[in-house]
Structure 1
Amino acid sequence: MNIALLLDMAADGFGDRVVIGTRDGGLTAAGLRDRSATGADLIRRSGADAVVYLAVNGPAFPIAMFSAAHAGVPLVPVNYRLGAEQLDSLLANHPSALGIADPEHLHILERAGLDVITTDDWLEATAAARSGDPDAGAGVGTEAPAVIIYTSGTTAAPKGVLLRHENLTSYVFGSIEFANAADDEAALVSVPPYHIAAVANVISNLYAGRRTLVLEQFTPAQWLETVREEGVTNALVVPTMLSRIVESDADTTVPTLRNLAYGGAPMPSRVIEEALRIWPHVGFVNAYGLTETSSTITVLGPEDHRAALDGDDRVRARLGSVGRPLPGVVVEIRADDGSPLGPGEVGRICVAGEQVSAEYAGVGRVVDAGGFFDTRDKGHLDEDGFLFVGGRADDTIIRGAENIAPAEIEDVILRHPDVLDVAVVGVPDDEWGQRIEAVVVLRDGAAVDADGLRDHVRSALRSSKTPDRIVYWDEVPRTETGKLVRRNVVERLVAAAPVSVRQT
């Protein structure tokens, strides 16, 4: 099924309902279909084989997505925060694309030689009456490419993940019930358009019949104000956003909020526990997924959160998990040699299912003979099937002959009441191969010395996992979706600091 058929279902089922934007002046499901049909005509007439979107999130984005789907070409949302060299290299992969950009980034697409239209002109052009064949594009197959999303490049150069219509529709059908949202429901999304969560939220909320709002520039006060003013019932945040919200001095009253989903990075247990205390009426959902898996593959639902708070230590530990797999998704933990591991054994998280693309543009699918994709994340399943993620396999610090997972150390440091954020990395060392260094962000007014933090780590972990050096920064480098950019941490530490002697 083409994702455009999801829009057709919405327009036929609740065409007059506002599904994009504010309550006053937003876009209805029928209006989105009309605009997307007109947009598809524009794409066909341009002769483009893709639509490159280089702008902030907003109404132009879903129109571009469904226009591309109707036209039978992929949408390519691009990270406007990349450097000029990376952008030029990425855009060179799409020389025949139609470009949609905001005025600030228009010159980048023009430099790449693309036919370009501004977001404002795109909105105006798609508001015009449709002039093409009403049946054009009806035959676009489920196996056709729907979206190409370039990975964040936190550990290497960005790669284009190719998501086909069948991957995205499988995700929707496996996780959402059609038209299950009441007509007063609204979802607030605070992720950029070049992230899989932005794509997934457009199609899943539309299929549910829920209005979607976008907060382009996040601040705790603006987020809270928008929730109240727009009657937001559902929201999506990354852990750093939720941390800033619960730490905020602003009014945290959100009477209409019913469900809050989070993901993209590990959530400190103290942050989610505080959020549960502040908003006992809200159902919290921890969602874990990757671009290659068409977004979410496991969910820790509201009842799981409540049970964890009230349960024994074993059940309470599930607050640190990402829940259990969605229907149609199979998760296995495997050793480096590919052999399966049992409950509690840490290994590589591998996943299979129809929504799993695991396909890279110009490369093909990267799966084994059984269709399993190695996420390169490390983790384990408990005896009840709850998945615990322990960081990227690529992040492993090798100190001497010992493999050390930085996520384990980060989790302990984050338990300190005065720590807001942390990054633990391996830095080159002549004697040990790598030494452990930690960058720590403290809450305002706090003063915690390095020796005190080392003692805090040693109280939970053996001394070989205690950071050799701890430095304090105002913030650690993260993407807009909360992913830690470890290579930037290592580069800055190596450039700025001399080799330090291990303190024990």
Structure 2
Amino acid sequence: MNVILLLQMAADAAPDRIGLVCDGRRWTYSALYNAAKGAAEVFIASGCSHVALLDESSEAAPIALFGAALAGIPYVPLNYRLADADLGALLDRIKPAYLIGDVDRSNRLSSGHTCATRQEFVAAAEDSAENASGEERDGEGIAAQIFTSGTTAAPKAALLRHANLLGYILGTVEFMSAAEEDAQLVCVPPYHIAGISALLSSIYALRRIVMLPAFDPDQWLHLAEQEQVSNAFLVPTMFARIINRMDETGKQDLPSVKAIAYGGGRMPLELIDRALDLFPNTHFTNAYGLTETSSTVALLTPEDHRTAHKASDPDIKARLASVGKPLPTVELEIRDDEGKVLGAGERGEIYVRGEQVSGEYREKSALDAQGWFPTRDAGYLDADGYLFLAGRADDVIVRGGENISPGEIEDVLATHPAIADSVAIGAPSAEWGEAVAVAIVLKTDQMPPSEDDIKKLIKDRLRSSRVPEQIRFVDELPYNEMGKLLRRVVRLWFEG
């Protein structure tokens, strides 16, 4: 099976229904499908081995994704925010590619590609659609190749096969389940797995996709109102900016928005609590997943959100900080360093297994002999099966041979009324090898705590080994565009 099936089914079931809105243009499902068929012919004629997108979100993304699928060629969305040297290295790894988007930059950084601007590509796809056969070509079975962030080494090329993506969509989305007026606002970058899964799931549900090329809170609010958007996916930093903008403008509600999913980074409890109060009729979902798992593997459902929000029981209230329970189609375990499966409340590394789980890279597979994928995320399951994240396994602070989770320190700091955000990392220490260091963002409307206050808070709630040796107050913490905290940047602050 091939992901083109999702678009083909939508075009067959509702050919004249609007499937995509972008920059004022409205595409029916039949128009999208025909353009994808034309794109496949363009790709095959070019002799490319990969189809690369180096651009913001636009209609070119779904047309390229499905056109590449029909042609049997991997789709490779590239991070246009990368430095030239890093991007050039990735371009050299996918030669010869048919590249869509920033032609000048591509030609400057790497040779041997066929390049077209967004407008040139879409026009070529539409021109070729009339005589396109629509025949599905055999390939490697790879739908998408997504380069990892490469924070500690050269980026790996994560491979998502058609079977992985279809395993996720068919296992979580009901065909044609959206009403004709329903619309999904897509504002995450096209090179992120959330952007791809939003396209696939919306098309299969026949939910109109409203595309925002680059996130801006004012434009997001304008589009949500103009298109009467019903659904949206946001990362926490985007969500915070939207709520702040609503506060600044006095806007009180988003009446058409029925459901907001969020993920990709840590959601501050204060922010989701505020959102639940601000939007009492909106369904919130926390989605946890990775590129290598074809998006979501665990969900905190709307019912979970409301139950935890109203709960007086502290164990139930705590679930608001979890990412929910694994999907029915996914197996999930917590293991220690020796591979032993841990019980409820025990922290370890998260392992997942299922049809949607790829765990495969162009370089090698990361799956073990039983098909389990080590996520490198640390966490634990509570007694009721709710999954709590505790940062990356690589982020563990090793102080004098004792493993310390940064998450437990950050959770305690979050309870202080004057602390808006914080991060704990391991800083070099002559005595301990590593010692705890924290960077803290303070609220402007509260009395700031002293360093002694912070140390006492952590010592009283945890123990002395968790007390930071270094504390730094900063205006903001470094996050990337998807809301991921850049701990490597924070570590540089404490290297001296």
Q: TM-score, normalised by structure 2?
A: 0.94
Aligned to 1:93: 93
Alpha-carbon deviations, 1:347-377, whole Å to 9, x = none?
11100000000000122x2111211111111
Counterparts of 1:239-318 in structure 2, within 5 Å, are 239-248=236-245, 249-250=248-249, 251-311=251-311, 312-318=313-319
Aligned to 1:65: 65
1:391 partnered with 2:391: yes
Q: Are 1:400 and 1:433, in contact at CA under 8 Å, matched by a contact in 2? A: yes
Alpha-carbon deviations, 1:320-368, whole Å to 9, x = none?
11111112110011111111111111111100000000000122x2111
Unaligned runs of 5+ in 2: none
Aligned to 1:436: 436
Partner amino acid, structure 2, of 1:298: A
Sort the Cα spacing of 1:351 and 1:20 in 2 relative to 1 into closer, same or farther, 3 A: same
Q: Following the alignment from structure 2 to structure 1, what is the Cα–Cα distance between the partners of residues 85 and 444?
A: 37
CA shift, 1:292, in A, is 0.5
Sort the Cα spacing of 1:417 and 1:244 in 2 relative to 1 into closer, same or farther, 3 A: farther
CA shift, 1:279, in A, is 0.3
Aligned to 2:219: 222
Counterparts of 1:37-436 in structure 2, within 5 Å, are 37-102=37-102, 105-108=105-108, 111-130=110-129, 132=131, 134-136=133-135, 138-140=136-138, 144-248=141-245, 249-250=248-249, 251-311=251-311, 312-363=313-364, 365-436=365-436
Partner amino acid, structure 1, of 2:400: G
Alpha-carbon deviations, 1:92-130, whole Å to 9, x = none?
111111111235644456x33311101121122222242
Q: Following the alignment from structure 1 to structure 2, what is the Cα–Cα distance between the partners of residues 208 and 23?
A: 22
Sort the Cα spacing of 1:108 and 1:177 in 2 relative to 1 into closer, same or farther, 3 A: farther
Partner amino acid, structure 2, of 1:464: S
Q: Following the alignment from structure 1 to structure 2, what is the Cα–Cα distance between the partners of residues 220 and 492?
A: 30
Aligned to 2:490: 489
Aligned to 1:19: 19
Partner amino acid, structure 2, of 1:345: E
Q: Are 2:22 and 2:59, in contact at CA under 8 Å, matched by a contact in 1? A: no
CA shift, 1:194, in A, is 0.9
Alpha-carbon deviations, 1:46-85, whole Å to 9, x = none?
0011111111111111111011011110011111111222
Q: Following the alignment from structure 2 to structure 1, what is the Cα–Cα distance between the partners of residues 455 and 448?
A: 10
Q: Give identity over the alignment, percent.
A: 44
1:448 partnered with 2:448: yes
Deviation larger for 72-81 or 127-136 = 127-136
Partner amino acid, structure 2, of 1:121: E
Deviation larger for 82-91 or 45-54 = 82-91
Q: Following the alignment from structure 2 to structure 1, what is the Cα–Cα distance between the partners of residues 35 and 419?
A: 48
Sort the Cα spacing of 1:419 and 1:102 in 2 relative to 1 into closer, same or farther, 3 A: farther
Counterparts of 1:451-462 in structure 2, within 5 Å, are 451=451, 452-462=453-463
Partner amino acid, structure 1, of 2:129: R
Q: Following the alignment from structure 2 to structure 1, what is the Cα–Cα distance between the partners of residues 149 and 76?
A: 14
Sort the Cα spacing of 1:75 and 1:399 in 2 relative to 1 into closer, same or farther, 3 A: same
Q: Are 1:438 and 1:469, in contact at CA under 8 Å, matched by a contact in 2? A: yes
Q: Are 1:54 and 1:105, in contact at CA under 8 Å, matched by a contact in 2? A: no
Q: Following the alignment from structure 1 to structure 2, what is the Cα–Cα distance between the partners of residues 63 and 443?
A: 45
Q: TM-score, normalised by structure 1?
A: 0.93
Q: Are 2:184 and 2:230, in contact at CA under 8 Å, matched by a contact in 1? A: yes
Sort the Cα spacing of 1:125 and 1:308 in 2 relative to 1 into closer, same or farther, 3 A: same
Aligned to 2:467: 466
Sort the Cα spacing of 1:254 and 1:103 in 2 relative to 1 into closer, same or farther, 3 A: farther
Q: Following the alignment from structure 1 to structure 2, what is the Cα–Cα distance between the partners of residues 396 and 442?
A: 24
Q: Are 1:193 and 1:199, in contact at CA under 8 Å, matched by a contact in 2? A: yes
Q: Are 2:57 and 2:214, in contact at CA under 8 Å, matched by a contact in 1? A: no
Unaligned runs of 5+ in 1: 499-504
Q: Following the alignment from structure 2 to structure 1, what is the Cα–Cα distance between the partners of residues 48 and 128?
A: 21
Sort the Cα spacing of 1:333 and 1:390 in 2 relative to 1 into closer, same or farther, 3 A: same
Sort the Cα spacing of 1:487 and 1:95 in 2 relative to 1 into closer, same or farther, 3 A: same
Sort the Cα spacing of 1:129 and 1:43 in 2 relative to 1 into closer, same or farther, 3 A: closer
Partner amino acid, structure 2, of 1:383: A
> What SS class does the counterpart of residue 334 from structure 2 fall into?
strand
> What SS class does the counterpart of residue 153 from structure 1 fall into?
coil
Sort the Cα spacing of 1:418 and 1:227 in 2 relative to 1 into closer, same or farther, 3 A: farther
> What SS class does the counterpart of residue 21 from structure 1 fall into?
strand
Q: Following the alignment from structure 1 to structure 2, what is the Cα–Cα distance between the partners of residues 60 and 442?
A: 42
Aligned length: 491
Q: Following the alignment from structure 1 to structure 2, what is the Cα–Cα distance between the partners of residues 223 and 156?
A: 35
Q: Following the alignment from structure 1 to structure 2, what is the Cα–Cα distance between the partners of residues 131 and 25?
A: 20
> What SS class does the counterpart of residue 454 from structure 2 fall into?
helix
Q: Are 2:189 and 2:195, in contact at CA under 8 Å, matched by a contact in 1? A: yes
Q: Following the alignment from structure 1 to structure 2, what is the Cα–Cα distance between the partners of residues 108 and 444?
A: 46
Deviation larger for 215-224 or 389-398 = 215-224
Q: Following the alignment from structure 1 to structure 2, what is the Cα–Cα distance between the partners of residues 39 and 16?
A: 20
Sort the Cα spacing of 1:121 and 1:446 in 2 relative to 1 into closer, same or farther, 3 A: farther
Sort the Cα spacing of 1:228 and 1:443 in 2 relative to 1 into closer, same or farther, 3 A: farther
CA shift, 1:423, in A, is 2.1
CA shift, 1:300, in A, is 0.6
> What SS class does the counterpart of residue 398 from structure 1 fall into?
strand
Sort the Cα spacing of 1:448 and 1:155 in 2 relative to 1 into closer, same or farther, 3 A: farther
Partner amino acid, structure 2, of 1:202: L
Sort the Cα spacing of 1:272 and 1:449 in 2 relative to 1 into closer, same or farther, 3 A: same
Q: Are 2:41 and 2:128, in contact at CA under 8 Å, matched by a contact in 1? A: no
Q: Following the alignment from structure 2 to structure 1, what is the Cα–Cα distance between the partners of residues 371 and 183?
A: 36
Q: Following the alignment from structure 1 to structure 2, what is the Cα–Cα distance between the partners of residues 89 and 245?
A: 35
Aligned to 1:502: none
> What SS class does the counterpart of residue 417 from structure 2 fall into?
coil
Partner amino acid, structure 1, of 2:114: D
Q: CA RMSD in A?
A: 1.9
CA shift, 1:162, in A, is 0.3
